[in-house]
Chain A
Amino acid sequence: MTCDESKIFLSEYWSQTLGETQELALEGHLAMCAACRAESERLGTLWRGLSLLPAEEPSANLRTRFYETLGAYRHGLEASSKGGSWIQKLAAFWPKQPAFQMGLSFALLVIGVSIGYGMRSADKIDRKDAASELATLRGEVSGMRQMVALSLMQQQSASERLRGVSFAYRAESSDTEVLAALLRSINTDPNINVRVQAVDALHTFGANPVTRNAVMQSIPRQSSPMVQVALIDLLVDLKEKEAVPELRKLTTDSTANESVRQRAQWALERLQ
């Protein structure tokens, strides 16, 4: 066996999985070649060391999420095997990929506008009817945007949920479903980025008293100072004077993060 040939068998030799003939040949070579023997000993030590490296363990959250999703998948399978309602059958045509969802939304918009325009010229529909059709189309587009946002915000991947939140920016301020999804994200999403982004998207819903109350209630529940600061900033942007008692409490809360306390003090100065 040559030096080059011996290298190929080294890792199996360290793992003790080499065949008997090859092992004898390799040991014969190592006995005669000091350089290969030294290299085998050095690398072999590292090879064994690799198996001693402590294994990273996933959080318990992974198991919970897996069983929840598996349950939902089975439920979906059972529902589809029973035939499902006409709404479910219709929903099955809705694509899973966000790119296709956006493409389909755009195509539907173009088709809708074309039909509307064609009918208008063909039948000489008056301006009032055209305006009403346009309003209907706007409503449909808004509905689709809502579907995309809600669907993305339920994804496993944090980056997909971030996309969902960015869709929520364009939702109508009266869309309570999107508002509820954003509030859920702020209070329960495990990813800080998603929570901060969701706080930012709440600006659209600032006029709604539900938003203001939910923001105030969420501050003490948050574990991340970054999210707490984002929520305080939102209250200042919304000029929410009713938040003053809550903020004052926060400035004296010794368990709160120092930067959160400072931000609460800053907010108090602006709101009072």
Chain B
Amino acid sequence: MAAVGAGEVSKLAVLFERHHRSLFRYFVSMNRNRELSEDLVQDVFFRMLRYRGSYDPEQSFTAWMYQIARNASIDNAQKRRAEVIGIDEIGERQTEPVSTAPGPEESAASNQNLALLKRALERLPQDKRELLVLARFQGMKYEEIATVLSCEVGTVKVRVYRAMRALEQTYFALEKEIAS
């Protein structure tokens, strides 16, 4: 990123190859819309170019990137809310949500558990889901998550515990739903 900041724009491709998958997974876990997530990934990399002057090489690049990703996601949500209802309705009808139903290949018990876990994660409130996605899927350190979420490291740890409790409750509720 330091090279990009120094004007070597082509180095952005290196960052793209390194991070676009994890960013995509973050967005798709948050909004469950593949197409929108790809748009947002693209947006993040061009925001990096636009705001490259604000990057501090002393700070974690990952934390900076996810701060941008969060802002892109928030801006997009606001913009979507402000859109005319007609367009919004079409958009919602046409988006391709990530399937929540377990596929036929997920017949083995362990795979069923994973499918259930995925559904439980998708049912979590956005703030809890985001925390688990950052901590578990993106492999971010708690210090980095604290920077992204603008809170203390201790707060992140407590919130991760609470999110796990909520995930457990949702998981067992879903299990009961399926059994009954």
Contact = CB atoms under 8 A, between A and B. Distances in A.
A59 B132 CA distance: 24
Interface string A69-82: 11001100100000
A196 B80 CA distance: 19
**How large, as a class, is the contact surface on chain A?**
35 or more
Nearest to B90: A193
Given A8-B157, A74-B9, A191 B94 contact: yes
The majority secondary structure among interface residues of chain A is helix
A244 B41 CA distance: 44
B88 to A, nearest CB: 9
The majority secondary structure among interface residues of chain B is helix
A9 B164 contact: no
Contacts of A58: 20-21, 24, 34, 37-38, 41
Contact of B24 (A50, A62, A70, A197): A62
A255 interface: no
Contacts of B18: none
A53 B161 CA distance: 19
B63 interface: no
Interface residues of B, number: 52
B117 A61 contact: no
A159 B87 contact: yes
A238 interface: no
A73 B25 contact: no
Contacts of B165: 43
B51 to A, nearest CB: 14
A62 B118 CA distance: 24
B147 interface: no
Interface string A1-36: 000000111111000000000000000000000000
B39 interface: yes
A63 B23 CA distance: 13
A232 to B, nearest CB: 19
A67 B46 CA distance: 11
A50 B34 contact: no
A12 B117 contact: no
Contact of A66 (B29, B42, B114, B168): B42
Kindly list the 6 A-B residue pairs having the minimum CB-CB distance in the complex, ordered from nearest.
A58-B24, A50-B136, A62-B38, A56-B28, A11-B160, A7-B161
Given A8-B154, A53-B137, A157-B43, 4 more contacts: A8-B161, A74-B9, A158-B39, A196-B90
